[in-house]
Structure 1
Amino acid sequence: MAQSTEDALIEKRNWHWRNTMRPVRFFSLDARAALPFFALLVYARPITLVLTIIITVIFSMLERRGLTFSSAMRALRVWIVGQNRPAWVSLRRRRMRDFG
């Protein structure tokens, strides 16, 4: 019994470390997906409002399907560039060096 309470106390002391890798949220969106709202604040026009609403709806739909903002950007990059990307040319590839 004493061991489990000590473990619980240690776990309570480390709760703040558990939350350090959580994504920053702006209401229910990832904070990076909320960047159009800042553009709306700077350039308040009807077209900016429409684009902000469209982007917000798209990212909320993607989050419901399980994609975070960064994974959605990677998926977009793969869709644009394609699966097969050429490797670095041999002249620009880094070589192993021993400075000893």
Structure 2
Amino acid sequence: MAHWYNTYKPVKFFNVDVRFGIIFVVSLLHLRLYTVGFVVLAYIVGVLIENRGLGFAGALRAVRSYLAGPQRPPKLVNKKRSKIDYQRVRLPGDREDENRVIALQPFEKQ
């Protein structure tokens, strides 16, 4: 029986992360020389990545970060969110907006 500190270890398939092993299992459906070469290449890449200390998910994040570059693009103008005050009460000196009609009653003191 496994101890509690062994429960978070990644699942291995041929000494590589199981997600690299999925490529091997899928290649069995289409067994050709180039698919075997692709599986061997994927296995070598998986071993190299794991020797560097990355898992499969970390390697995908590293590739995505390399492709995205160091700068993050700004949000488009139509994607920016604006502040909305749903409890705004129109005061007597406020003008009405041309685009919408404010149908609120004036504030009365009691």
| TM-score (normalised: structure 1) | 0.67
| Residues 61-72 of structure 1 aligned to structure 2 (within 5 Å) | 61-72=48-59
Q: Superposition RMSD on alpha carbons, in Å?
A: 2.4
Q: Cα–Cα, structure 1 residues 46 and 19, in superposed 2: closer, same or farther, change >3 Å? A: same
Which of the two has higher C-alpha Rg? 2
Identity of aligned residues (%): 31
In the alignment, structure 1 residue 38 sits paired with structure 2 residue 15: no
Q: Cα–Cα, structure 1 residues 40 and 92, in superposed 2: closer, same or farther, change >3 Å? A: same
What's 2:107 paired with?
Answer: none
Match of 2:34 among 24, 47, 51: 47
Q: Flag structure 2 segments of 5+ consecutive residues without an equivalent.
A: 83-110
| TM-score (normalised: structure 2) | 0.61
Paired residue secondary structure (1:42): coil
Q: Aligned residue pairs: how many? A: 82
Paired residue secondary structure (1:85): coil
Q: Which has the higher helix share?
A: 1
Q: Flag structure 1 segments of 5+ consecutive residues without an equivalent.
A: 1-13, 96-100
Q: Distance in 2 between matches of 1:74 and 1:34?
A: 19
Contact 1:40/1:49 (<8 A) preserved: yes
